[in-house]
Amino acid sequence: MSPAQLRVYRDLLDADRRWAAATRALLRARGWTLLNLIGAPGGGKTALLEALARVRPPLPAGAVIEGDCATTRDAERVRAAGWAAVQILTGTGCHVTAAAVHQALADLPAAGPGLVFVENVGNLVCPAGTDLGGDAKLAVLSVAEGEDKPLKYPILFRVARAVVLTKTDLLPHLRFDLARCRAALQQVNAAAPVFELSARTGAGVAAFADWLRARAAAGPPPA
């Protein structure tokens, strides 16, 4: 491999870092807190955003950046729930890029301070290692996926600022060991709070919304 090829790869990584830095500056200028929702397909990320749109008092004004390989279905769902929403289509890409997120943020109306969510492409691996310039990565895990996922995919749960355990209304119908899941999360990341909730029934959503309000009140991170 020639030195020129090595420089190309290095430059690509530098470009990602520059986009993330530009996004941090944009977030500070607008007072936005960017939260990156990461979880498997069908883990309940979109339903969670729909439930958060219903909480009272409402969360600080914000928006959702939807990431999917194809279709605008999830963006349409969260927009119908009341969020301002934009769509990033990644095609064969396994996660949204820092450049795409920055462009989507720049195109959003410059409303007052609030929360902006990125619903990343359904994936427990690739999005966990990508810096979008946001405030925090949030791991979304449904009880339908099994209690061992924090141990099988530790990178995501290790970097997560919080873990949201979704679809708890299904627990009576599943062989999901909640105690083992909690122990696995404690082993991988003891500092991250765990929010157990059901977007369908609303149980537990208020506690997570309170945590989000505290994040928004703290504002975007410093440079």
Tokens at residue 8, please?
A: 């190309």
Q: How far apart are CA 146 and CA 87, in angstroms?
A: 29
Q: Where are the alpha helices (DSSP H) in 45-177?
A: 45-53, 73-81, 98-107, 149-152, 154-159
Between residues 125 and 218, which one has the greater pLDDT?
125
Q: What is the average per-residue pLDDT within 20-30? A: 94
- Kindly report which listed range (11-15, 62-66, 104-108) carries the lowest average pLDDT score: 11-15
Please provide the size of the chain in residues. Answer: 223
pTM of the full structure: 0.92
pLDDT attached to residue 15 = 81
Q: Are 48 and 70 in contact (CB under 8 A)?
A: no
Q: What is the average per-residue pLDDT within 127-131? A: 93
Q: What is the largest CA-CA distance in the chain?
A: 59
Residue 76 has pLDDT above 70, yes or no: yes
Q: pLDDT class for 219, splitting at 50, 70, 90?
A: confident
- The number of C-alpha atoms within 13 Å of 183 and in the hemisphere containing its C-beta is 5
Q: How many CB atoms lie within 10 A of CB 158?
A: 14
Backbone φ/ψ region at 106: left (φ over 0), alpha (ψ -120 to 50), beta = alpha
pLDDT attached to residue 112 = 81
Q: How far apart are CA 63 and CA 173, in angstroms?
A: 34
pLDDT attached to residue 190 = 97
State the DSSP H helix or E strand holding residue 114, giving kind and residue range, or none if neither: strand 114-119
Name which of 156, 158, 189, 210 is nearest 43 in CA terms: 156
Q: pLDDT class for 5, splitting at 50, 70, 90?
A: low
Q: What is the average per-residue pLDDT within 33-59? A: 97
pLDDT digits (tens, 9 = 90+) for 167-215: 999 999 999 999 999 999 999 999 999 999 999 999 999 999 999 999 9
Q: How far apart are CA 19 and CA 205, in angstroms?
A: 33
Q: pLDDT class for 13, splitting at 50, 70, 90?
A: low
- The CATH architecture that domain 3-218 belongs to is 3-Layer(aba) Sandwich (3.40)
Name which of 23, 76, 29 is nearest 49 in CA terms: 76
